[in-house]
Amino acid sequence: MALTEKTRAEMREIMARYPQARSGLLPMLHLVQSEEGYVTPEGIEMCAAELGITAAEVTGVVTFYTMYKRRAMGKHHVGVCTNSLCAIMGGDAIFAQLKDHLGVGNDQTTPDGQITLEHIECQAACDFAPVLTIDWEFFDNQTPGSAIDLMNDLIANREVKSTRGPVITSWRDNERLFAGFADGKVNEGPAAGEASLLGLKLAKERGDSIPANPGADA
């Protein structure tokens, strides 16, 4: 894959969002990943040229951040949270069974190029534990069985929908979103998941008076 002048134009669009162009580097690297499937040497060169810095300076940034990948990724990125809480609630078992089912180790891609599996850190969804992500979208309250079903659906290109988000397309599509380009999927999924509504539902059931607030109908 070669980067095009369209990519260069979009990089400049990103740079223009900031008072200083270099602030655009992180989203520019996300854009490179969406175009190339990982951070390629060519992508690094283009970022460096646009920002007037060296390729080494760009590379120094790339290696710092976990979301930037230095080799070709599968169509989908599957992350299993194995930070303490998710691990204990079953995340360790889910990760072990997915490795076994897919025949890959951590940070490896299935031979058909469909899935790159990685264990990931806390995703800020602890009240939905155990959690996994597909292309970084939330899949809440997982079990080994539900996770394996999801993998089979991904491999067979069947529709897979996030529990609190959109229908899955690809890791690269979401990398474009991280670069700051909206994808029109904002209305998919609920406003809030069940666990997020725990207190609100209790307050309504118990008849707690909801305090006046700027959202309150005067």
Partner 1 sequence: MATITPVLTAYWDEPDAFTYAGYTRHNGYQASRKALTTMQPEDVIQTVKDSGLRGRGGAGFPTGMKWGFIPQGDNKPHYFVVNADESEPGTCKDIPLMMANPHVLVEGVIIGAYAIRSNHAFIYIRGEVPHVLRRVQAAVAEAYANGELGKNIHGSGYDLELTVHAGAGAYICGEETALLDSLEGYRGQPRLRPPFPAVAGLYACPTVVNNVESVASVPSIIANGIEWFGKFGTEKSKGFTLYSLSGHVKNPGQIEAPLGITLRELLDLAGGMREGSTLKFWTPGGSSTPILTADHLDVPLDYESVAEAGSMLGTKALQIFDQTTSVVRCVLRWTEFYKHESCGKCTPCREGTWWLQQIMERIEQGKGTEEDIEKLLDLCDNIMGRSFCALGDGATSPITSAIEYFRDEFIAGTHTPAWELFPYEASALFAGANA
Q: Looking only at residues 153 through 192 of this chain, which bind partner 1 when binding is defined by CB under 8 A?
A: 162, 164-166, 174, 177-180, 182-183, 185-186, 188-192
Q: How far is the CB of 122 from partner 1 (least distance, A)?
A: 4
Using the minimum distance from each CB to partner 1, give the nearer residue, 112 or 208. Answer: 208
Nearest partner of 148 among 77, 86, 99, 106, judged by Cα = 99
> Which of 52, 105, 156, 217 contacts partner 1 by CB under 8 A?
217
Using the minimum distance from each CB to partner 1, give the nearer residue, 2 or 218. Answer: 218
Rounded to 5°, the CA angle 128-134-160 comes to: 95
Separation in Å, CA 38 to CA 41, 44, 156, 160: 10, 11, 23, 23
N- to C-terminal Cα distance for the chain?
A: 57
For residues 96 to 125, the per-residue mask of contacts with partner 1, x marking binding by CB under 8 A and - elsewhere, is: x-----------------------xxxxxx
Separation in Å, CA 76 to CA 4, 68, 175, 183: 24, 14, 11, 17
Q: Could you say whether residue 87 binds partner 1 (CB under 8 A)? A: yes
Nearest partner of 213 among 202, 200, 194, judged by Cα = 200
Q: How far is the CB of 157 from partner 1 (least distance, A)?
A: 20
> Which of 83, 108, 114, 170 contacts partner 1 by CB under 8 A?
83
Q: Could you say whether residue 84 binds partner 1 (CB under 8 A)? A: yes
Residue identified by tokens 């109908």 is 217
> Which of 9, 56, 64, 105 contacts partner 1 by CB under 8 A?
64
For residues 23 to 42, the per-residue mask of contacts with partner 1, x marking binding by CB under 8 A and - elsewhere, is: xxxxx-xx------------
Q: How many helices (H) and strands (E) does the chain have?
A: 9, 5
Q: Could you say whether residue 2 binds partner 1 (CB under 8 A)? A: no
For residues 137 to 156, the per-residue mask of contacts with partner 1, x marking binding by CB under 8 A and - elsewhere, is: xx----xx------------
Q: How far is the CB of 111 from partner 1 (least distance, A)?
A: 24
Nearest partner of 165 among 189, 146, 185, judged by Cα = 189
